[in-house]
Amino acid sequence: MLKITDLVKRYGTGEPVLKNLDLTIEGESVVSIIGSSGAGKSTLLRCINQLVKPTSGSIVLNGTELTALRGKDLREARRKIGMVFQGFNLVDRLTVMENVQSGRLGYISTWSAITRNYPKADIRRAFELMERVGIAQYANSRADQLSGGERQRVGVVRALMQQPEILLADEPTASLDPKTSEQIMGLLRDLAGELKLPVVINIHNVTEAKEYTDRIVGMRYGRIIFDDKPDKLDEAAMEEIYAGSPHADRGGDMVKAS
Ligand SMILES: Nc1ncnc2c1ncn2[C@@H]1O[C@H](COP(=O)(O)OP(=O)(O)OP(=O)(O)O)[C@@H](O)[C@H]1O
Ligand SMILES: [Mg+2]
């Protein structure tokens, strides 16, 4: 369970970007976070995985208070949080297997990593996951030879190699064509169920958020102003979340409560 209480994040001396935010995520649910550009979606994910230090408040993942951790404890806790990025964040000149195994850094010795002498169990697990997402045939290909959708599958497998307790994805499909984007969303949803893993996805595509996630959290100016099942996201709620914003993909007629 992830329990965020009274979270505040202020960059420098400006107005807080996250304002006393509360959010609890339980079970293997797939949660999407929507909201205009600048609402604080990425900052929220970065606070969860501690890439950004919250100004105040509490973030507890399965009993561990993350905001209090330092050094080794922090590194250990961060392994439990898998991260998937919009730009995939692969090392282009390395193979798919090497990229995937980088998810094990922190678990294996530096020597094993440098010599690419990966533990057998890690190689087995990598192949299982790569088979699952349909990229096993590319294990020895360089990452930059893959298509965007395939590269994101590598990103997902790398995150899963960490054996995370939660998976965070910051606009994982924003760089993909519409069909590939849907495939990746479907994959994330299915993996959440299969691995009993909560998944939190920042996303601008409201149609996909409605179709592929169980719960939609709407943010505006650093606050959560909507938190409900997708079919409750009606036009009035959309208006409130996106009022005055030219950025939103409002999802066409999907906006209507279904
Ligand atoms: N490192 C930083 N230093 C200062 N301000 C920042 C930093 N990162 C983000 N901000 C500011 O915090 C606010 C929220 O940014 P954030 O990236 O969290 O929004 P977002 O909802 O993810 O937007 P988008 O949909 O465009 O990705 C913005 O006003 C942004 O300019
Ligand atoms: Mg963002």
Per DSSP, the residues of 43-81 read HHHHHHTTSS--SEEEEEETTEEGGG--HHHHHHHHHTE
- Ligand 1 midpoint to CA 42 (Å): 7
Domain 1-80+166-258: CATH superfamily is P-loop containing nucleotide triphosphate hydrolases (3.40.50.300)
The DSSP bridge pattern shows strands 2-9 and 18-25 to be antiparallel
**112 has pLDDT over 60:** yes
Where b means 16+ CB within 10 Å and e means fewer, 19-58 reads bebebebeeeebbbbbbbeebbbbbbbbbbbbebebeebe
Among the bound ligands, name the one nearest to the CA of residue 37.
1
| Cβ of 41 less than 6 Å from ligand 1 | yes
- How many angstroms separate the alpha carbon of residue 93 from the centre of ligand 1? 30
Q: Taking the model in full, what pTM does it have?
A: 0.92
Q: Is the per-residue pLDDT at 90 higher than 80?
A: yes
Provide the pLDDT for residue 107: 76
Distance 253 CA to ligand 2 centre (A): 25
Q: Which of 239, 178, 232, 166 is nearest to 205 (CA)?
A: 178
CA of 110 to the centre of ligand 2 (A): 32
Mean pLDDT over 30-57 rounds to 97
Beta-carbon contacts of residue 90 (< 8 Å; ≥ 6 apart): 99, 143, 144, 151, 154, 155, 158
Band (243; pLDDT cuts 50, 70, 90): confident
Q: Is 35 in the pocket of ligand 1 (CB under 6 A)?
A: yes
Contact 206, 21 (CB under 8 A): no
pLDDT of residue 84: 97
Which residue, judged by its Cα, is nearest atom 6 of ligand 1? Answer: 11
**Contact assessment for residue 170 and residue 85, using Cβ atoms and an 8 Å cutoff:** yes
- pLDDT score at 249: 52
**Per-residue pLDDT at 177 exceeds 50:** yes
- CA triple 87-116-78, angle to 5 deg: 50
pLDDT at 256: 36
Does 164 sit in the ligand 1 pocket, CB within 6 Å?
no
Q: What is the pLDDT of residue 105?
A: 78
pLDDT band at 255 (very low <50, low <70, confident <90, very high): very low
No. of H helices and E strands in the chain?
9, 10
Atom of ligand 1 nearest to the CA of 42: 22
| Nearest protein CA to atom 2 of ligand 1, as residue | 11
11 lines ligand 1 (CB under 6 A): yes
> Ligand 1 test: best mutation among 41, 45, 225, 241, most atoms within 8 Å of CB?
41
Provide mean pLDDT across the span 69-98.
94
Nearest CA to ligand 1 atom 31: 38
pLDDT band at 244 (very low <50, low <70, confident <90, very high): confident
